[in-house]
Structure 1
């Protein structure tokens, strides 16, 4: 490969200046003839170079850069760049610090130069988002490779739009992911952050991809059969396997495995850390942080698509649509027709930092048909403690919410918590009685409160398989409301109270239920169901993610379901009694 030094020699880069000093060659026609003759002499070599650079774009950058260039591509960046120009469909799942957007924009700038009159686009969930990405990356690219900028005729930049026009008639711009884009024509496109939850897969399939219906016509006026038409490049961090983004990834992957012009590639944080593009200490600190989500780390830094797709417990879309509860509650709201149901999953004994007990607070509002509007208004989580301390904590929450029932996991270690709940612990905590297990009747005192529903998964009435099936049906119908994201929750709280919360400690405290709801959703997305005969079970995709919050949520949902069934039986029974009395 010729070096930059060879390329910059006068006989390689310019016509012989002496030829222009001769009076007989000074006329324009003579100069043009010399230029044409020079080009004719080099035509075969130019063809070879053009073909070579289309396959080795990184060598083109080396060839046209000065020795004191501000950037030298890393090995993996060279590989990624070659893939983007050699394959029709490319799907890159990469962590932060990989320079994935930089490489995609560099690839399309080069493609616009290599293929005259081509038209390429980029889109993202938000038009302003795409414009910002292109604008920032173009500044970096032209700073690193000044010769590329000399190929640009004009750049039009607005708040939500950017268009780059090249001297050879090529164009690169931002398109909007909406029906307004319908009818346009492009020859290739890049789709940024397809795993974003705001990304609309239907718009991509019905509006964006049809933009590339036609092939580029070469300068000879015909279609080049060797050109890769309709280029698609997908650039994203990982998401969940229930998303449209994962379906598209699987589509490109299957095409690659079938030998088509497609390539799936990705990397975790180790790669950019190896080249000091990412601080390994920062990443490790995030990984060990107790407040940073394991699922977020897996997606953002390990490039792992979390959850299960074909046998997922709940669809990602429907789970997100259930997050409609704006304001978390910390006590009974005061309304007489409102009931609160507490559901508790018991952790293992203290000492296991990963073992957490979880209390889910339901607010249920009766409907005319015997069912309830079900809302999760708070979640409490605590490390494994002595069963007596857990019992006191539960009694405190029963008092605060004036709960009508406490549904508790009475399997294994949960038995000891139930044993303490039925005791008279102190003056402020009278004993409870168990409403569904007469084996506890011998502990019942005169002041015992009928409060505990001791749930045992092996009992016929509360089989685990039935609870799992009901859980799946509930979310399929979106028949429960979960708390919104922390940011949205605080905004709704401020709107309700008409008070701006400025104290950071207070914000952190108020955000806890919303953060725990985020973790709850991650637990749900990490579960897949397994059918064994007539039994349904759940399995964790990643063993690092627990399911205590999911279990507590499931227990409460099932108890409410039993109560709804009972409500529908009672009116029929009363009606039969009244008919009997009337006839008599």
Structure 2
């Protein structure tokens, strides 16, 4: 629905500037490139409209100088949504994707632009003095989660609207785009039938519905979302080769003491909304408190033969220089494990991967018949106790800020637009980069749909409706192993301190 929103906003701005000479419009956004899209849309429209083109004296779409100027003195300019925007003046303020803008910036900076209203000369005549104008504010956004201040602001505006004040609130759901021929209904049906279709994201983005998690939800959106602080995911190395060499976005090699986990929740049979294999890359960065867990990459695979999934795991294992593979070996995961403990031939890359074996379960290790296999697989066999501990430690990790992941996809798209060469990529390649953010939004949606159905001290989580928990399981089990590695790290650190203190006191 972003295209429809931007299209209507561009038309409104042009009409306003032409019919009301001397109008000053400022467009701000949580992402500056998003605000620039209004100017770009006007540029597209004037190419097909000679009448519009005659009204415009200058138009620029540069990253740092986007504006439209009209012969009648009206103009449209873009500003950043931060303290540096102070001092601007406008008759009309448009804040695009306003939920991404800090509320304090809106109140202290952006709304202060609206000082002196437009002063047409006819107001100097007594008979027209009653026609003075008010400055206007226009806030645009997709819906979001109800914990956010944008939901409270929306309710406040609706309340003023129904009390007949000068407020107006409306939603533009996907049905409107279908009716106007801007969205194909068959495309909508296909998207809604996909195995990884997410109802929450759809209702937020396409149906204009704010979402609030269930009262029974074990994980709360706010305590998870606050940890979306990483500007970029970590992509497989070949992703970066699509960009020019001089760009600032590069593959990050391992830091001193860093451990990387590839954690997998497995499904063999595809086609069900509750069936998908999910592979997650977790970086464990050592600090004074143990390890910071950085969730940097995630991908899902609908079903797939065990050898196919095994090869994909080894590809990711190699690409990200992983130290350990955390594998759910209950049920279908056993067949993937059996594939990993034998040599795997990767025809796509022309490689043969050496067999691996288990390092934490003797019975699973016995399934490997190669004596020289590296012990790099953690076998996870979920049960009531383990699953409860995994859930509690994951919740605790988010509350304490020990687990971080990439920012949301709207912010991510804005950051990617600033990467040299990204705008020139093929659409398919851009989508692959953006998926690095979208996967973690889907992960969060899964988590806030999990309800604790246990009636005792143990945590037992269950999906609500047709939602799934593959991404949750992948991360929860990875974090479970991260806790074990952290205990080993802290124990080693403590032993080293004791050895040093003993040596120092003896000396």
Hey, what's the Cα distance between the residues in 2 that align with 1:566 and 1:315? 26
Q: Is the 8 A contact 1:328 1:513 kept in 2?
A: no
| Residue 381, structure 1, aligned to residue 300, structure 2 | yes
How many angstroms apart in 2 are the aligned matches of 1:490 and 1:137?
22
Within-5 A mapping of 1:68-217: 96=4, 100-101=8-9, 104-105=12-13, 108=16, 112=20, 121-125=25-29, 126=32, 128-133=36-41, 143=51, 156-159=57-60, 160-164=66-70, 173-174=76-77, 176-177=79-80, 182-183=86-87, 186=90, 188-195=91-98, 199=101, 201-213=103-115
SS in 2 for 1:324: coil
Counterpart position of 2:174: 269
In structure 2, relative to structure 1, the CA distance for the partners of 1:223 and 1:361 (3 Å cut) is same
- Secondary structure at 2:232 match in 1: strand
TM-score (norm 1): 0.58
Preserved contact between residue 92 and residue 137 of structure 2 (Cα < 8 Å): yes
2:244 counterpart of 1:347: no
Q: What are the superposed Cα offsets for residues 522-550 of structure 1, whole Å, 9 maximum, x if unpaired?
A: 33256437689988887879x66644234
What SS class does the counterpart of residue 435 from structure 2 fall into? helix
Distance 1:288 1:461, change over 3 A: closer
Give deviations 1:398-456, integer Å, cap 9, x for gaps.
6787754332335xxx3452487379964677573462x67768879894847324153
CA contact (8 A) 1:240 1:305 kept: yes
How many corresponding residue pairs? 459
Contact 2:93 2:110 in 1 (8 A): no
Between the aligned partners of 2:325 and 2:317, the Cα distance in structure 1 is: 8
Conserved? CA contact 1:345–1:408, under 8 Å:
yes
Equivalent residue for 1:515, pick from 435, 455, 472 = 435
In structure 1, runs of 5+ residues without a counterpart are: 1-92, 496-500
Aligned to 1:312: 221
Q: CA RMSD in A?
A: 5.6
Q: Is the 8 A contact 1:357 1:548 kept in 2?
A: yes
Distance in 1 of aligned mates of 2:269 and 2:389: 25
Aligned twin of 1:571: 493
Q: Cα deviations across residues 193-243 of structure 1 (Å, max 9, x unaligned)?
A: 22585x555433222212335667855679989988343222345566676
Distance 1:140 1:251, change over 3 A: farther
Question: Could you say what secondary structure the match of 1:263 adopts?
Answer: coil
Task: Specify the alignment match of 1:467 in structure 2.
Answer: 393
Q: Normalised by the size of structure 2, how large is the TM-score?
A: 0.65
Distance between the aligned counterparts of 1:158 and 1:322, measured in 2?
Answer: 35
Structure 1 pair 221–371 and aligned structure 2 pair: CA distance change class (3 A) = farther
CA distance in 2, matches of 1:465, 1:247: 31
Task: Return closer, same or farther for 1:467/1:253 CA change in 2, 3 Å cut-off.
Answer: farther
Larger radius of gyration: 1
Residue 337 of structure 2 corresponds to 421
In the superposition, relative to structure 1, how do residues 378 and 490 fare at CA in structure 2: closer, same or farther (>3 Å)? farther
